[in-house]
Amino acid sequence: MKLLTKASLRYLRQHVMQLVLSVLGVALGVAVVLSIDLATESARTGFRISAETVSGRATHQITSDVAPIDERLLARLRTELGIRESAPVVEGFGSSPLLPGQALRILGIDPFSEGPFRPFVVGGGLGVDVADFVTSRRGIIMSQTMATRAGLAVGDSLPVLVGGQAWSLPVVGTVDPTDALARAGLSDVLLMDIAGAQEVLDLVGGLTRVDLRLPEGAAGEGMEMAIRERLAPGASLLAAGTRTDAMGGMIDAFDVNLTALSLLALIFGMFLIYNAVTFSVVQRRQLLGRLRAIGVTRPEILRLILWEAAWIGTAGAALGVVSGLVLARGLVRLVTRTINDLYFSVSVESVPVEPVLLVKAAALGVGATLLAALPPALEAAGANPRVAALRSVIESRARRMVPRAAALGVLSVAVGWLVLEFSSRSLAVSFAGLFFVIAGLALVTPAGALILVRISRPLLEAVGGTLGLIASRGVVSALSRTAPAIAALVVAVSVTVGLGVMIQSFRGTLERWLDGTLRADIYVSLPGATATRAAGTLWPDLLDTFVAHPDVVGHSTYRGVDLLEEVGGYRLVALDLDPRGEQAFDFMEGDAAGIMQRFTAAEGVIVSEPFAFRRGSSRGDLVTIPTPAGEQSLEVLGVFYDYGSDQGAVMMTRALYDRFFDDPGVTSLALFVGPGVDSEAVVRDLLGQVSAGRTVIARTNDSLRTASLEVFDRTFRVTAVLRFLAFIVAFVGVLSALMALELERSRELGVMRAWGLTPGQLWRLVLTQTGLMGLVSGVLAVPMGIVLSIVMIFVVNKRAFGWTLQMQIGPEILLQAVGLALVGALTAGIYPAWRMARTRPALALRGE
């Protein structure tokens, strides 16, 4: 065994570069997986902690999405039911110019009810006279951290914008919890007395929710029943955490997508390891054959190879964990930004170093390394000592393997396809199917490469003469080494192609959708907590003023109410449509004019594609909508394409809405101006009429379109980063494989040099060869990438978000793919060419 260790160490020492690149490959894979894991986990934890902090020790909550809860309910609960542990909460979001980029959670509470609920309210160094808190009009308590960041002290005022209305909120106290969890939970909270919160959040008379502590067992169940009897329609009594879970569930699909992408990076890392280990085995055939000949057993060989892999894996994992922690800090900002843009407000103060995640990522790294090393290790152990040393045996076997691999690949693709076809809606299973497809395509690669190389031979001969031929034949004759390298490069490039096409298709679809949907000339809304959903209520007087503008010839109003159910959330929209805006909907099926006619006649609702997908509902079905007038079953008149929200939307006419809701508010307003009128000028005009202290966002059609696409681009920045990282991993893999391949040919090249190959010719030879491999990989990657994008667009995205995207393939993505592969491959040739050109032929010939 000592001999084996020595042999192993000696080999590794002689191939340091290879070793370093292998470690790097694992490290990158682990880093990407870990950082994505940490980033999404931080976002989730941040969300959960603040949800738990603000709901405190409640066991149950009364909530209502359809209308605020009548504030008089609390006294009824206390006096009629004797439910003393009940606390009213008024909650909403705002922002402050002193705290840019942070959504502020305004939490209105009644300190007299708080005792059993939120210890930070009544303890934890509140340092505030409760009398001041209750009687100072709109006074706030904020965390010391936030106060410091805003540069405020007790006695100052924090300027806050809520639903477009500016407020100046006096800071009556700061809280500095010693408990880290409470600190995290309070990081975005402005604590107000409930009276002030009602005023600022425009919720006078209503409550956002009532927190309860109910006893367990029969007594509690009895109370639950009694409470339910007293609830208004649309209000519900839920166990605490139910809502938090439902809300957290909104980002599941987003999360799974990111995780899958990060796993992709790890799989590239595995390719890399497979490559490196295979290569190290191939290179040591002779040595291993000799070792077997002198009596080293097969298990010992197996152990030797795996042991090496384990060390590489461990080193890579360690490095990966460290860099993953660093990377996570950057990614978490992108991830939380996206969640804030699309789903709900979440603030993440720091990335917690979660030991479980670190261990998981490290184990994944080591495990993947061992798994990748297993096939070559088995092969090394299984080799017959007599023939092991014969290169020709290996290569001829490799060539025999090509059709078999291709067959296996086709099978794997087929399996993947079947999985995708029949896995119904599970996102995780879909990704498993996707991985089967990728693996299958990788297995087909060598066959594809052989064919391409053969096709290109006459061309190479014509261009490069004998050298061209040598280069071409070199790829084929060393197939055992070139095939894995090409496969790795193809997979990496095809994934970037797939992702690129998917993003491009998505963007293109969105653009077309925006063009169709944004019919009005000017859009007016309030600054809200999330970028994609208008929130709040426009001031009625402002509405009147805007509509009365002489250049405005028509208008549509929009009222959005977010409903959260256990199966997911959606937005209920009340539309008062100007006839000009009626063609804004593109229906999946049915006659649009007919649908809109029935819609306008308030015969039912229209639902967005994601909503229909999630609920499995289609045209003609009934949907049940909770309203203050009780649940309403309404017919789905049509399903329209919608890319505004993956949570789905249900739209009804304003008239229908008013029948069920006592809510005259308008969330946003669309204005049509007369022909030839400059919308920009009208916008300036309208904004000039907004009184001081109010902020509205009025945008022209164009600028809303631009803003929407900006949000889209921001959303996909994480994906773009992952795409880039995945490519880096692949690039490193190819670099290491090709470099090793060329270095291994030192002897062969030495012979050629001795025969008179000039250094210049050698450069050409090496670069032609690697370039050929790059080109072949790039060309193979294009159709594979398109296949992947088809899966991502039509299966994964549909299942994750429920929307249909129109595929769109830009030539630049394809050229980029070929270019990337070529550049990567050429880069890989530089070092070996440089080294070989510098080495005296005699030295090269001496061999090891």
Partner 1 sequence: MRAIGALAMLAAVGCGAPEGGETLQARLSLVETLAGTDTVGYARALEPRAFDFPVDHGPHPAFRTEWWYVTGNLTSEAGREFGFQFTIFRNALSPTAPESPSAWATNQAYMGHFTVTDVEGRRFYAYERFARGAVGLAGAQAEPLRVWLEDWTLEAAAPQAFPLRLEARDDDVALRLDLAAGKPSVLQGDRGLSQKGPEPGNASYYYAHTRLPASGTLAVGGDTLRVTGTAWLDREWSTSALSEGQVGWDWFALQLDDGWDLMIYRLRRADGSADALSDGVLVDPDGVRVPLDWGADVTMEPTGSWTSPIDGAVYPSGWHITVPGRGWDLTVEPRLSNQELDVSFRYWEGAVAVGGVGEGGAVVAGSGYVELTGYAGEPTRP
Residues of this chain that bind partner 1 (CB under 8 A): 71-72, 74-75, 78-80, 82, 84, 110-116, 119-120, 122-127, 129-131, 134-137, 178-179, 193-196, 198-199, 204-205
Tokens representing 543 are 């509405």
Sequence-separated (6 or more) residues with CB below 8 Å from residue 838: 759
Q: Which is nearer to partner 1, 71 or 578 (CB)?
A: 71
CB of 180 to partner 1, least distance (A): 13
* Cα radius of gyration (the chain): 32
CB of 193 to partner 1, least distance (A): 7
- Strand ordering across the sheet containing 568-576: 622-625, 632-640, 605-608, 649-653, 568-576, 552-565, 668-673, 522-525, 697-700
Beta strands 140-143 and 157-162 are unpaired
CB of 109 to partner 1, least distance (A): 10
Rounded Cα gap, residues 744 and 766, in angstroms: 12
Q: Which is nearer to partner 1, 194 or 441 (CB)?
A: 194
Q: What DSSP letter does each residue of 469-493 carry, written as one string?
A: HHHHHHHHHTHHHHHHHHHHHHHHH
Rounded Cα gap, residues 109 and 195, in angstroms: 8
| Type and span of the H or E element at 202 | none
CB of 63 to partner 1, least distance (A): 19
| Nearest C-alpha neighbor of 241 from the set 387, 60, 104, 412 | 60
Are 782 and 775 contacting, i.e. CB atoms less than 8 angstroms apart? Answer: no
Rounded Cα gap, residues 300 and 733, in angstroms: 28
- At residue 563, the 3 state secondary structure works out as strand
Q: Which is nearer to partner 1, 219 or 407 (CB)?
A: 219
Tokens representing 848 are 């090891």
CB of 9 to partner 1, least distance (A): 56
Q: Which is nearer to partner 1, 123 or 330 (CB)?
A: 123
Tokens representing 794 are 């039509």
Q: Which is nearer to partner 1, 196 or 448 (CB)?
A: 196
CB of 215 to partner 1, least distance (A): 12
Q: Which is nearer to partner 1, 112 or 724 (CB)?
A: 112
Tokens representing 708 are 């929407």
CB of 199 to partner 1, least distance (A): 5
CB of 19 to partner 1, least distance (A): 52
Q: Which is nearer to partner 1, 60 or 533 (CB)?
A: 60
Q: Which is nearer to partner 1, 74 or 538 (CB)?
A: 74
Beta strands in 157-292 (DSSP E): 157-162, 165-175, 189-193, 206-207, 209-212, 235-239
Sequence-separated (6 or more) residues with CB below 8 Å from residue 516: 583, 584, 586
CB of 68 to partner 1, least distance (A): 12
Are 489 and 730 contacting, i.e. CB atoms less than 8 angstroms apart? Answer: yes
CB of 87 to partner 1, least distance (A): 11
CB of 115 to partner 1, least distance (A): 3
Q: Which is nearer to partner 1, 137 or 846 (CB)?
A: 137
Q: Which is nearer to partner 1, 114 or 642 (CB)?
A: 114
Sequence-separated (6 or more) residues with CB below 8 Å from residue 203: 68, 90, 92, 197
Q: Greatest CA span in the chain, whole angstroms?
A: 104
- At residue 731, the 3 state secondary structure works out as helix
CB of 192 to partner 1, least distance (A): 11
Are 655 and 127 contacting, i.e. CB atoms less than 8 angstroms apart? Answer: no
Q: Which is nearer to partner 1, 37 or 85 (CB)?
A: 85
Tokens representing 305 are 């190879």
CB of 119 to partner 1, least distance (A): 4
Phi then psi for 505, rounded to 5 degrees? -65, -40
CB of 86 to partner 1, least distance (A): 10
Are 436 and 419 contacting, i.e. CB atoms less than 8 angstroms apart? Answer: yes
Tally the residues of the chain: 848
- Local structure of residue 587 (DSSP, 8 states): B
CB of 355 to partner 1, least distance (A): 26
CB of 173 to partner 1, least distance (A): 11
CB of 130 to partner 1, least distance (A): 4
What is the identity of the amino acid at 531?
Answer: A
Q: Which is nearer to partner 1, 124 or 783 (CB)?
A: 124
Q: Which is nearer to partner 1, 219 or 455 (CB)?
A: 219
Q: Which is nearer to partner 1, 119 or 590 (CB)?
A: 119
Rounded Cα gap, residues 492 and 175, in angstroms: 51
Q: Which is nearer to partner 1, 49 or 698 (CB)?
A: 49
Q: Which is nearer to partner 1, 195 or 378 (CB)?
A: 195
Rounded Cα gap, residues 39 and 262, in angstroms: 11
Rounded Cα gap, residues 86 and 301, in angstroms: 70
Sequence-separated (6 or more) residues with CB below 8 Å from residue 459: none
Q: Which is nearer to partner 1, 85 or 308 (CB)?
A: 85
- Local structure of residue 848 (DSSP, 8 states): -
Are 143 and 176 contacting, i.e. CB atoms less than 8 angstroms apart? Answer: yes
CB of 693 to partner 1, least distance (A): 16
Q: Which is nearer to partner 1, 69 or 520 (CB)?
A: 69
Give 3-state DSSP helix, strand, coil % of the chain, rounded to 5. 65, 15, 25
| Nearest C-alpha neighbor of 555 from the set 670, 407, 385 | 670
Beta strands 206-207 and 157-162 are unpaired
Rounded Cα gap, residues 415 and 404, in angstroms: 16
Tokens representing 193 are 């007395």
